[in-house]
Amino acid sequence: MLETLFIKNYALIDEFSVQFQDGFNVISGETGAGKSIMLGGLSLILGQRADTAILNNPQIKCIIEGKFTIEEKRYKSFFQENNLDFERETILRREISPSGKSRAFINDTPVNLSILKSFCSGIIEVHSQHQSLALKDVHNQLFLLDQFCRHDVLLQEYKEGYAIYLQLKTNLKTFIEKGEVSLSEVEFLSFQLEELENAQLKDGEMQEVEDELAMLNNAEQIANMLDKGVNILEKENGALDLLSEIVRDLSGISDYNKKLFEINERFEKTVIELKDISTEIFYLKEKSVSDPERLTQLNARLDVFNSLLLKHRKNLLSELIDLKEDLKNRVNQLLNFDTEIEDLKNEVIKQEQKIRVLAKKISKNRKNTIPDIESQIKSILKKLGMPFAIFSIELQELDNLGTNGKDEVVFLFSANKGIKAEKLSSIISGGELSRLMLAIKYISAKYQNTETLIFDEIDSGVSGEIANLMGEMMKKIGEQKQIIAITHLPQIAAKGNQHYLIYKEIKEGITNTLIKELKTEERVNELAKLLSGEKITAIAIKNAGELLNQ
């Protein structure tokens, strides 16, 4: 439920705060006092968009804050899914800066508007004559019918299955579009694959070939240089003989000093390393011979590499190897196209059969629930001054499946005797629509999860005993939900558990909208004003007291 509402710097509101209670809360005030402004501010924390035109003072930001009491069992999962801290007393806040930047928060954590809107959709509903026009929409009519059916789990299972069904159909369509190639294209792809496979490419092979070619192309020069190196190292009195002599000399004096010992060890290691190098140079020299046949083979291999790289516009052999794997997968896919298409079609059929079973159960629930809804609504409309009203729900099963099953729902209505019931979307007046909406909310209060209902002057166009009955119905709904009703009718205002007054105050030439909870005497005076207008009479005071004590 909505515990408190704080509004700062919004339209005519400089700053006000109001604390609402359980049950039936009523709000009254003169036309233009700011009731719609308060609802406009509330709509911002329900996720509606805003601009800087709403700022009372364009130099400072607007702040709207609402504190809601929520149930952990129902909302804990929402907080977990959106990485939010759960608090039983949850605070929603919107801030609109002078620059037009808007920010939204849930328990001081920034969120985007879609998350805010999603959270509020299950907490609070606002109904006015204008917003009740949504009742004329057939999609909303189906939503209302499903609320009465109380098959949320079944409907959710169907919706999840339907989403899978749509995805499978999309996958099938995409696969068919990708697989629609001609035989000549398949042959071309197969030729490219065969060419790459015949090349027997290995990652890093091109570098190896280029290195070996460099050796063969310069074999004579390399052999001469290596031979010279071996000669310098191995000849009599060469480098190795001289270094070995130094090692022998150092060995004789290494025991005299630690440093001499270390130097001797380093010389020994150097001599060993040079001997290894000399051996490797010798073997390289033996291999460095001209081999025209091998040279021809390597050049031919390099030509294959370069030709394929140029043809496929690649830079590395590894990219050609990846291309080969892609072509292999593509050709296999095309060769097995018919089989995979058949498998996907079977998946689509299987999923459709599954959700059609669920859709059939949903349709049966709806059919079974409709007579009871029709009977209850007719009975309530009769009490609300519409004794000849006809209300019926027409359910038509369609061949095609939709988001909510296979049913099309139409509400039919007639308010007058002898007039055939027609589609609600085309014939109902504003006052009749408000009474019908109240009747629906009256019987659905025990089914729906919404915790707070706001009625914005849905009593327009009624008076007398009908107004009294509407007030009784709102009070009854208030036993199960929190109701906040904006009204001009004393019969309804008197039924509230709490009564709030919205009024304007001019201070230093500036108009400001304020709100206050009325005490008993103030409430009597407000009811009297609603009965008689600005000039409150003694009779109006008496009647107001009687209304309040009923």
1-123+483-517: CATH topology is Rossmann fold (3.40.50)
| Residues of each domain in the chain carrying CATH 3.40.50.300 | 1-123+483-517
Which pLDDT value is given to residue 427?
Answer: 58
Which pLDDT value is given to residue 147?
Answer: 85
pLDDT at 289 over 70: no
Which pLDDT value is given to residue 184?
Answer: 61
pLDDT digits (tens, 9 = 90+) for 219-228: 677 767 777 7
Average of pLDDT values for 72-87?
87
Tokens 């083979």 locate to 297
Which pLDDT value is given to residue 167?
Answer: 94
Identify the bridge partners of residue 514 per DSSP, sorted by sequence position: 503
pLDDT at 501 over 60: yes
pLDDT at 252 over 80: no
DSSP string covering 292-345, please?
Answer: HHHHHHHHHHHHHHHHHHHHHT-SSHHHHHHHHHHHHHHHHHHHTHHHHHHHHH
Collapse the DSSP code of 59 into the 3-class scheme (helix H, G, I; strand E, B; otherwise coil) and give the result.
coil
pLDDT digits (tens, 9 = 90+) for 169-219: 998 888 777 766 555 677 788 898 889 989 898 888 888 888 777 777 766
pLDDT at 336 over 80: no
Is there a contact between 167 and 388 (Cβ–Cβ < 8 Å)?
no
Contacts of residues 205-209 at CB distance under 8 Å and 24 or more positions apart, as own/partner, are 205/305, 205/317, 206/302, 206/305, 206/317, 209/298, 209/301, 209/302, 209/305
**369 Cβ contact partners less than 8 Å away, ≥ 6 residues apart:** 145, 148, 149
Structure tokens at 130: 């204008």
Amino acid at the residue 364: K
Confidence of residue 355 (pLDDT cuts 50, 70, 90): very high
- What 3 state SS string does 477-527 have? HCCCCEEEEECCCHHHHCCCCEEEEEEEEEECCEEEEEEEECCHHHHHHHH
Which pLDDT value is given to residue 235?
Answer: 75
The helix (H) or strand (E) run that includes residue 402 is strand 390-402
The torsion angles phi and psi of 10, rounded to 5 degrees, stand at -125, 115
Return the percentage of the chain with pLDDT > 70, whole number: 95
Identify which has the larger pLDDT, 190 or 287: 190
Confidence of residue 129 (pLDDT cuts 50, 70, 90): low
Which pLDDT value is given to residue 288?
Answer: 64
Which pLDDT value is given to residue 506?
Answer: 87
